[in-house]
Structure 1
Amino acid sequence: MPNLVAVSNSAHAGFTVDEIRANSVLAGSQLIPVVPVEFSQLATEMPIVLTKHGDTGQFCPVALTGFDSHENLLCNEQGWQTIVVPLQAQRQPFFIGQDDKNSTDEYTICFDSNSELVSANGGGQRIFSDAGADTEFFARKKQVLGALLAGEQHSQQLISRLLEYQLIQPMRVDIKFESGKSTQLNGLYTVDRQALSALTEAQLKTLQQEQLLEAIYAILISQGQIYRLIELRNKRDLSTAA
């Protein structure tokens, strides 16, 4: 059970983060939540699809990184094997939380005190300098967390428009690998190309004004990256069989 604590330069002056291990923490994640601001870059590396949240049933955008549960063909123990890395991976091991004692909507940056990624006396990247200021490493993490926080609102706006304009359709992907094994991807959704092309000029203008049109096109363009995942899986299966 995670025990989130707020980061402070007084309580965590000498704390460090094992950046190598933090970079590989999502190596076992098949679906990684993403936000629209990163769609265009991620589309050059991995498929972006929609899935439904297990608890709420709400649609959410995710990056697909493998074909089996807990399979990530783009990340291993050495870290991400891509140029572009999802923000959810870049933020590790920090989280955004709200202080229950604070009645305002202010957020605070936290980490799991049970995590082996953060240490009081280990090696790695320091969170604070000797003077108590944020290190460049921690400042970057803050920027990523800020982008994710803003991106969550943009994601909700995107999903609302996709539903309103009836642009979401189920994906059915049947794959047969060179090893002879086959798989079927279920529970995933994408943008309906025909419905998109049938939108009125006013609807397209709304999507453009809300900075959603580029994200929608990025989802469609990214579908070709499924073939990259198939190639990586074939190579992995071949090396495992050798």
Structure 2
Amino acid sequence: MSQHAVLDPQAHRDLRVAMQPDAELGDAVMSCVTVPVEFRQVQAHFPILFHKNPADDRFHAVALFGFENGENLFLKDGQWDALYRPLALAIQPFLIGRSADGEGPAQVHIDMAHPRAGHVDGVRLFDDAGEATPYLEDTAGKLGLLDAGYRECADFFAALKAYDLLEPFTLEVELDDGARRSLVGFHIINEDRLRTLDAAALGELHTAGHLMPIFMALASLSHLTDLVARKNRQSVHA
């Protein structure tokens, strides 16, 4: 269960946070949420898929790391085997907190129940003078970027819906050892539909800043083949 607290230089002066990639520290996940503002970086390494929350029918984007729950094919020998770490993973165990109405200044919160929080071998958040360490300053910057990305998502997905640019996606994979894996319940950009949009529609998407993330999401799908290759290599060395 989460235990959120407003980050405080007095209460948390000696608190340390683990930075290293580790399954036991929360990295054993097949995907994490990503936002359009980072699609350019994400698409260089991971497939970007879209998932609908059945509770409210809202879409969100995910960076895909594996084919089944708890599988992260980018965790390798205690290292993160990619040059980019999506923001939603990179900021753990921190989050942005706001008032109940969502307005007012944002505050940095920390989940004290997260396995990264209070780790004896972790990095300090504040120095002896109570000032933020470079690690905390960097994390705060990532939190701000992620928070801004979340706030822009509503317009992005509204545009995808308006132009009917999402289509269901299912992937059936047969591995080298004969095992089968399936990806179901996801959506991708409908490339054929995108091609049929007229100049006015494309201009509106471009002006709103949505066209580039759309292209980045499409480009990212080439990494599905890479992900299968990672799975096959893992199976050989298992």
The TM-score bracket by the shorter chain reads over 0.9
Partner of 1:110: 109
Q: Distance in 2 between matches of 1:230 and 1:22?
A: 22
Instruction: Quote the offset at 1:28 in angstroms.
Output: 1.6
Alignment partner of 2:20: what SS?
helix
Q: Which stretches in structure 2 are left out of the alignment for 5+ residues?
A: none
Partner of 2:67: 67
TM-score normalised to the size of structure 1? 0.91
Partner of 1:83: 83
TM-score normalised to the size of structure 2? 0.93
Q: Is the 8 A contact 1:27 1:77 kept in 2?
A: no
Alignment partner of 1:109: what SS?
strand
2:214 paired with 1:226: no
Percent of pairs with identical residues: 26
CA separation of 1:116 and 1:182: change in aligned 2, threshold 3 A: closer
Letter in 2 for 1:113: M
Q: Distance in 1 between matches of 2:152 and 2:136?
A: 24
Q: Is the 8 A contact 1:49 1:190 kept in 2?
A: yes
CA separation of 1:166 and 1:104: change in aligned 2, threshold 3 A: closer
2:31 paired with 1:31: yes
Q: How many residues align?
A: 238
The C-alpha deviation readout for 1:67-126, integer Å capped at 9, x for no partner, is 1122111125714210011011110111112256x9952221111222342228x34211
Q: Distance in 1 between matches of 2:189 and 2:53?
A: 17
Q: Distance in 1 between matches of 2:99 and 2:215?
A: 38
Alignment partner of 1:154: what SS?
helix
Partner of 1:236: 234
Q: Is the 8 A contact 1:48 1:219 kept in 2?
A: yes
Q: Distance in 2 between matches of 1:22 and 1:95?
A: 19
Q: Which stretches in structure 1 are left out of the alignment for 5+ residues?
A: none
Q: Distance in 2 between matches of 1:13 and 1:239?
A: 43
RMSD: 2.0
2:4 paired with 1:4: yes
Partner of 1:52: 52
CA separation of 1:43 and 1:211: change in aligned 2, threshold 3 A: same
The C-alpha deviation readout for 1:179-200, integer Å capped at 9, x for no partner, is 1011221101001111101111
Alignment partner of 2:172: what SS?
strand
